[in-house]
Amino acid sequence: MARKENIQGLVVVQFIIGKDGTIIDPHVVHGIGGGANEEALRVVKTMPKWKPGTQKGQAVNVQFNLPIRFLLDGGVIEKKAEAPKEVFRVVEQMPAYPGGPADLLKFLAANINYPKAAKDAGIEGMVVIQYVIEKDGSISNAKVVKGIGAGCDEEALRVVNAMPNWVAGKQRGQAVPVQFNLPIRFKLDDKKSNALPTNASPLKVQDFKASPNPSKGLFNLSFRAEGKATNIEVYNMAGQRVYQQSLTNFDGTYNGQLDLSKEPKGEYLLRITQGSEQYSQKVLKQ
């Protein structure tokens, strides 16, 4: 088909050379169509084992880009290999989102739009995006490694590709490319409850105290309100509920402890609810 339609050009196949020299996850990152992409991928898959790369004397996985040029003259295929690019998975200084995990959660919460098809079908779950954080902090080779469909995979991928540059990872003081997996949860209940209902009214709360604030995870919580059924909930900045306590026999005074020790550092929204009335305060885990 490529010859018939006079298609020629460069196809780039990316793959990983495993610790045993096998070819892992070959896929086209730049194609020209006309069947050339499939042919280049077929040839790469038939290659014999390579000699694996090494790091500190140990065999390691290495990402490799192989450009294959299709030329019509004589049907010649030129192959010119690029120098292999080593992609790390664990380094001495891991990459970091600018501002830290709390700002990453804020970015996701502000930019993710729950796909209508997923809402209508009641689909929720975890999408995992894998990508490489390059030496300059830019995002490359983002792809879905675990999806739930209904537009959620595409939405998660879109948001990851829109992220600002990260602080690059370092090995022996030098910036290096690092592979990263980012789980993004789509949850209808949490997504809906991230905003106050339009008919919500302020809840009268007195003597509210959450201390220490900031805290390393344990907050001493106390407040007074009308004595009736009360809910205490905590949400992260992605709108996901991480804590809930129902006080069915609330007598008007609360003294207890809020445990966020298993949650990542960052800002959280504490919400006290009685019916349609709500009271909110932010707490910070350091």
Residues 240-259 pLDDT 10s: 788 889 998 999 999 999 99
Helix axes 101-111, 152-161, angle to 10 degrees: 130
Reply yes or no on whether the pLDDT at 60 is more than 60.
yes
Window from 43-47, 170-174, 186-190, 214-218 with minimum mean pLDDT: 186-190
- Show the tokens assigned to 219: 């907050």
Reply yes or no on whether the pLDDT at 103 is more than 70.
yes
Tell me which amino acid residue 118 is. Answer: A
- Residues 38 and 23: beta-carbon distance below 8 Å: no
Question: 116-124: long-range contacts (C-beta < 8 A, 24 or more apart)?
Answer: 116/151, 117/150, 117/151, 118/148, 118/149, 118/150, 118/151, 118/152, 118/186, 119/188, 121/150, 122/188, 123/148, 123/149, 123/150, 123/152, 123/186, 124/148, 124/185, 124/186, 124/187, 124/188
Backbone φ, ψ for residue 89 (5° rounding): -110, -30
CATH code 3.30.2420.10 region(s) in the chain: 101-186
The upper half-sphere exposure of residue 75, i.e. CA atoms within 13 Å in the direction of its Cβ, equals: 4
Reply yes or no on whether the pLDDT at 191 is more than 70.
no
Mean pLDDT of 142-150: 90
Reply yes or no on whether the pLDDT at 117 is more than 70.
yes
pLDDT band for 135, please (50, 70, 90 cuts): very high
CATH code 2.60.40.2550 region(s) in the chain: 201-285
- Show the tokens assigned to 258: 């809020």
pLDDT value of residue 2: 54
Residue 62 or residue 167, greater confidence: 167
- Residues 259 and 244: beta-carbon distance below 8 Å: no
- Residues 131 and 145: beta-carbon distance below 8 Å: no
Q: How many CB atoms lie within 10 A of CB 261?
A: 10
Mean pLDDT of 184-201: 56
Q: What percent of the chain has pLDDT over 90?
A: 31
Strand 277-285 and strand 201-202: the pairing is parallel
In sequence order, which ranges of the chain are alpha helices (DSSP H)?
A: 36-45, 101-111, 116-121, 152-161, 188-193
* Overall CATH class of domain 101-186: alpha beta
pLDDT band for 194, please (50, 70, 90 cuts): very low
Classify 137 as helix, strand or coil.
coil
What sign does the dihedral 25-13-146-182 (CA atoms) show? positive
Reply yes or no on whether the pLDDT at 200 is more than 60.
no
Q: Is 207 exposed, middle or buried (0-12, 13-18, 19+ CB in 10 A)?
A: exposed
Which residue in this structure is represented by tokens 């990459």? 95
| Domain range 201-285, CATH architecture | Sandwich (2.60)
pLDDT value of residue 166: 94
Residues in Cβ contact with 155 at an 8 Å cutoff, skipping those fewer than 6 apart: 112, 113, 114, 115
